[in-house]
Amino acid sequence: MFLKNLSLTNYRNYKSLSLSFDGPIQLFIGNNAQGKTNVLESIYVLALAKSHRTPRDKELIAWEADYAAIRSDVLRRYGSVRLELQLTAKGKRAKINGMEQQKLSAYVGALNVVMFAPEDLSIVKGAPAQRRRFIDMEIGQVSPTYLYYLSNYNKVLQQRNQLLKDLAMKKSHSLEMLAIWNTQLADLAVKLLKKRFEFIRKLETWAREIHTGITDGRETLSLHYENSSPVTEELAAEQAVDVMLAAYEEVRDREIMRGSTLIGPHRDDFSLKVNGMDVQTYGSQGQQRTSALSIKLAEIELIKEEVGEYPVLLLDDVLSELDEHRQTLLLETIQDRVQTFVSTTGVEGLKHQVLQQASRFYVKEGSISGER
């Protein structure tokens, strides 16, 4: 998929911006705090209806404005699609070809993106919540039903947690109600877990191959789903639900004492190993970086496999950080097939000829001038 253009209204420090793109690679060049990340972020938000930088949509709206809008014509295999996203303090509205989408889960997926930013090192180094967020966002991009199950799971989880607190405070004695929440939560948990197991397995297949390439065969990368519940990948859905229900029974007293749900997808994690060694704990800075890169490149291939088209790649301030070998590998992956938006403070670090020939946009104080 290719963005033919991008227009922003009141988005962060852009009052009004309108750009057209041709060629696979677009370079956004400028000093710090000028608006480079903002442009890349707006493309990410257009795709996922959520920022990678903040959970608060209000921050995306230019100060002193009451709404922000992002618009783009996206060329897909089957034709051109116009995507529009409007953000207000009250909420957001998404349109595909002028048709308002009632559910964001029906909108997300019209454009697929992979973002690689310095903070993505947190996939390797960060807290479990950051890896869960990564899993949820990435599966959600290619599976609207996953997003739907996830939002239901979170709703039931909240209600179950409230009941557990009430039971702890003796405000409620309803173990029947708890059994009802258990049934609903177990069913949703298993649906999420099935998708996550599959995602991690497929991501690993690609990431392993890519990582071996980057390290000239010196390192083997593996991914492991770290499960807080005893549900395993081999179990059929019905059995898995029974296993989950039995597990809730087992931890019930502790859950009531703590007033929260202690097992399930909201407590899970995944780990990365290089040659069998945990990268988060024992990996060098270089190994952690390479692992993060391998995962990002794997995502590109995974999305291609799932949706039949390459996603758009957003490289925020990371390209000049990579050595020449890694830059070359990255460029080999994307070639002409993946439209790529690159932000950088200067072009000196961009060694490859492909990059020297890319379209250039100069970013300064929320306005952009092009030059070819």
Ligand X SMILES: Nc1ncnc2c1ncn2[C@@H]1O[C@H](COP(=O)(O)OP(=O)(O)O)[C@@H](O)[C@H]1O
328 makes contact with ligand X (CB under 6 A):
no
Site for ligand X in 31-50 (CB under 6 A): 32-38
At closest approach, how far in Å is the CB of 32 from Mg ion? 7
Minimum CB distance to ligand X, residue 22 (Å): 23
Beta carbon nearer to ligand X, 58 or 201: 58
DSSP state letter for 61: B
Tokens of 216: 């000239």
What is the rounded end-to-end Cα distance, in angstroms, of the chain?
22
231 to 260, contacts with ligand X by CB under 6 A? none
Distance between CA atoms of residues 367 and 17, nearest Å: 7
Among 10, 34, 37, 227, binds Mg ion (CB under 5 A): 37
Strand partners, 2: 75
Q: Which residues contact 125 (CB under 8 A, 6 or more apart)?
A: 280, 288
Cβ-Cβ contacts under 8 Å for 135 (sequence gap 6 or more): 196, 199, 200, 270
Instruction: Tokens for 225, please give them.
Output: 């789903």
Residue 196 interaction partner, one of ligand X, Mg ion, none, beta carbon < 5-8 Å per kind: none
> Closer CB to ligand X, residue 32 or residue 281?
32
The CA distance from 102 to 244, in Å, is: 33
33 binds, among Mg ion, ligand X, none (CB under 5 to 8 A by kind): ligand X
Give the integer Cα–Cα distance in Å for 219 and 171.
55
Residue 34 marked ligand-binding: yes
- Can you tell me which of 12, 160, 194, 296 binds ligand X, judged by CB under 6 A? 12
By CB under 6 A, tell whether 52 contacts ligand X.
no
Whether the Cβ atoms of residue 26 and residue 344 lie closer than 8 Å to each other: no
188: amino acid identity, one letter = L
CB 202 within 8 A of CB 302: yes
How near is the Cβ of 364 to ligand X at its closest, in Å?
9
Name the residue nearer to ligand X (CB basis): 117 or 263.
117
Is residue 63 at the binding interface for ligand X, with CB under 6 A as the rule? yes
Q: Which stretch binds ligand X (CB under 6 A): 25-33, 167-175, 264-272, 277-285?
A: 25-33
Residues that bind ligand X (CB under 6 A): 12-13, 30, 32-38, 59, 61-63
Bind-site residues for ATP: 30-37
